[in-house]
Amino acid sequence: MNEKLKVYDEKMTKSLRSLNSELATIRAGRANPHVLDKLSVDYYGSLTPIQQVANVSVPEARMIQIQPWEKSMLREIEKAILTSDIGINPTNDGTSIRLIFPELTEERRKELAKDVKKKGEAAKVAVRNIRRDGNDAFKKLKGSDVSEDEIKDLEDQLQKMTDKYIKEVDETVDAKTKEVMTV
């Protein structure tokens, strides 16, 4: 791959990775420990992800169990879950916290599917913006030691790369939408 294109390929890969990590936090009826990824608790004065202060497991298909390494963290973790947008009330039994995921209603599934599509569109916009930046950079090469044909070739390769990433975004969104809509 051309050195000039490598930068844009890396940026597009990052956009796709970002989309994947965002989609992982959307719950789809089944318990997924990634819904806790964005939550942090106050651990001795510094914000720390829940996974770093507790053991997070999925003992059943629709339950997440959080077992803090220190009992004093139970209240902090519970507070973080209650103030988050997960929408599940934690059950605290004194040693661990359980999150029981209810079955999603048809309406909620459709909302989540819409949200997935919105995130997909944002990722496509990011990929297209990267393409635009690349094309602008290639146009600035005119007048230097790069020929018009080479610039045209770079633009064509960048377009092919963009198409590839847009297709990957679509496939990722379709897979997640299918997962969300499956009862």
pLDDT digits (tens, 9 = 90+) for 44-62: 888 889 888 999 888 888 8
Q: Please write the tens of the pLDDT for every residue from 134-157.
A: 999 888 888 777 788 888 898 999
DSSP H or E stretch at residue 107: helix 106-139
Predicted confidence at residue 106, as pLDDT, reads: 85
Torsional sign, CA 51, 53, 59, 63: negative
Q: Please write the tens of the pLDDT for every residue from 95-138.
A: 899 988 877 788 888 888 999 999 999 999 999 999 999 999 88
* Buried-exposed string 98-137: b where 16+ CB fall within 10 A, e elsewhere: bbebeebeeeebeebbebbeebbeebbebbeebbeebbee
Predicted confidence at residue 138, as pLDDT, reads: 87
6: its two tokens: 């490598």
Share of the chain above pLDDT 70, in %: 97
Domains of the chain in start order, with CATH, are 3-24+105-181 (1.10.132.20), 33-100 (3.30.1360.40)
CA distance 99 to 14: 31
Residue 85 clears pLDDT 80, i.e. is over it: no
Residue 39 clears pLDDT 90, i.e. is over it: no
* Buried-exposed string 139-163: b where 16+ CB fall within 10 A, e elsewhere: eeeeeeeeeeeebeebeebbeebbe
Around 176, how many Cα atoms within 13 Å sit in the side-chain half-sphere?
25
Predicted confidence at residue 1, as pLDDT, reads: 64
CA distance 120 to 123: 5
Predicted confidence at residue 42, as pLDDT, reads: 87
Predicted confidence at residue 179, as pLDDT, reads: 83
